[in-house]
Amino acid sequence: YDADVPQSNTADPTSFASISARERWPIILTGAIDDVHKAVSNEENPERASEGKKIVQNLATLKHELQHNRQLTPLIDDGSPDIASYNIELSQRNNPSWFSIPWLYAECYLYRRIATLFATSTHWTRHDVFAKQKLSTFRSSRPAVLELATRYDELIAGLQAKMQGVSEAGKRAAEEVLFREMCEICLWGNATDLSLLTNLSYDDIQALQGAESRKKNESKILANDFPAAFDVLWRAQISNPKGDRRVDIVLDNAGFELFVDLVLAGYLLESGLATQIVLHPKNIPWFVSDVVPKDFSELLTALVNAKQFYETPSADEEASNTNPTALSADEEKSLKSLFEHWSTLYAEGKIIMRANPFWTEGGSFWRMPKTAPELFEDLKESELVIFKGDLNYRKLTADGMWDPATAFSKAIGPLGPESGLRVLTLRTCKADVVVGLPAGKDEELRAMEGGGGDSGARKWAWSGKWAVVSFCDGALR
């Protein structure tokens, strides 16, 4: 039940896999070591401090093994059933070393191994080495958060009432434009570069025309299946207006990206395109910034305590003796009203969180029907399953070295046609794998400045500047 194409491998010198293993992971591990080291130095409980020091040592050992290209060692048993499958796969792969191993498995192993160090401790089981970073990145996205909060109030809240009296065709046209806008905000919220958001203006959306920046960035969306995805939600709404219609979002990153995912969730509920949103977070700290359930409550807490959140100087600001700008009363009010709106939707069960250990296993989503049959069955209940971000896309496509002109429906294997699932992926490209492109497009992009040229590397696909929005309707109903 794995794809039979070779996977992106850290041994390939032209791949982003290779750069990740040699350059990025050591930096990530150094950050994790610093985080625990700092926590230990502030620790008054000697037992907790000494256990923390051991974790620091174990993280340093892991970094040493990685940098010296040692073999991956079996994971220690932390009581979770997924450990066995990680270890079986490791031995089936003949205990490879770090610089000659499929990228996807190795990167999942890395985060899973970090998690075992905390899970097997007595005092550090709840510690998230990436928590501080996630929150501070959210804090620095303040302008876009404030802009979207205001826009949300004006555009989305009470949308169905605003649409009263509009003809069905008019309603469909308006909702489709908003759907695209919300999805595009949600898509680019995954990119490292968030400049698009600050350029979007309310007037442009209100006029139901794309903002210039969105138009410009639309050409950066290399496969664009928004119309087909909207169509299934619209049809479901028309054919079953009073029934339950659920949309699932397989989350990616915390902070700003989670904020925009909630904007999309709120839009789908307010427009009536969905009646319930199921969010899928991770169970353990994952790929630095992925959402764990606590990030959701921390986001809401930040909104309700916005003044304190935004006006307390960060460590950097303290060091440079600067103070953050105060929030205006209106800004504070719009963040509070978002908090109230989203907490109500959550309290009413219209937005729910459903964690599953499958999301942090070491294999691709091709395995879902076999290794997580209950999750697979559950997702079939959904009108649309939206997979956010790069890693989810890599897992959907098995991180395979596909020809970029391969159909998306083929590259997702058992989640494709007749699977019973409707899959939509919103992905900014930050890795080597890409499918669903017109023939010749990859070559064209490689030929652009910084695109990789004839180096053999698909560099254009590493930066998050390009995106793919791909849809596959595998529903059986």
CA angle centred on 294, ends 288 and 299, rounded to 5°: 90
Q: Does 190 bind ligand F6P (CB under 6 A)?
A: yes
Residues contacting ligand F6P: total by CB under 6 A? 14
Determine the residue type at 320: S
Residue 275-304 contact track with ligand F6P, rule CB under 6 A, x = bound: ------------x-x---------------
Q: Does 217 bind ligand F6P (CB under 6 A)?
A: no
Binding residue (CB under 6 A) for ligand F6P from 33, 117, 149, 431:
431
| DSSP H or E stretch at residue 310 | helix 306-311
Say which residue the tokens 């625990």 belong to: 36
Q: Supply 105's token pair.
A: 């498995």
Q: If contact means CB under 5 to 8 A according to the sort of partner, which of Mg ion, ligand F6P, none does residue 109 touch?
A: none
Q: Supply 231's token pair.
A: 């169509």
Q: Which is nearer to ligand F6P, 57 or 455 (CB)?
A: 455
Q: Does 194 bind ligand F6P (CB under 6 A)?
A: no
Q: Does 430 bind ligand F6P (CB under 6 A)?
A: yes
Residues paired with residue 253 on neighbouring β-strands, in sequence order: 290
Q: Does 290 bind Mg ion (CB under 5 A)?
A: yes
**In this structure, are residues 351 and 277 in contact, taking their beta carbons and an 8 Å threshold?**
yes
d(CA 162, CA 157): 9
Q: Does 205 bind ligand F6P (CB under 6 A)?
A: no
Q: Which is nearer to ligand F6P, 30 or 312 (CB)?
A: 30
Q: Which stretch binds ligand F6P (CB under 6 A): 60-68, 159-167, 274-282, 383-391?
A: 383-391
Q: If contact means CB under 5 to 8 A according to the sort of partner, which of ligand F6P, Mg ion, none does residue 141 touch?
A: none
d(CA 126, CA 115): 10
**In this structure, are residues 413 and 462 in contact, taking their beta carbons and an 8 Å threshold?**
no
d(CA 397, CA 414): 10
How many other CB atoms sit within 10 Å of the CB of residue 75?
A: 19
Q: Supply 66's token pair.
A: 């990685």
Q: Does 107 bind Mg ion (CB under 5 A)?
A: no
Q: Which stretch binds ligand F6P (CB under 6 A): 66-74, 127-135, 220-228, 387-395?
A: 387-395
Residue 388 three-state SS: strand
Q: Which is nearer to ligand F6P, 252 or 473 (CB)?
A: 252
Which positions touch ligand F6P (CB under 6 A)? 16, 20, 107, 190, 252-253, 287, 289, 389-391, 394, 430-431
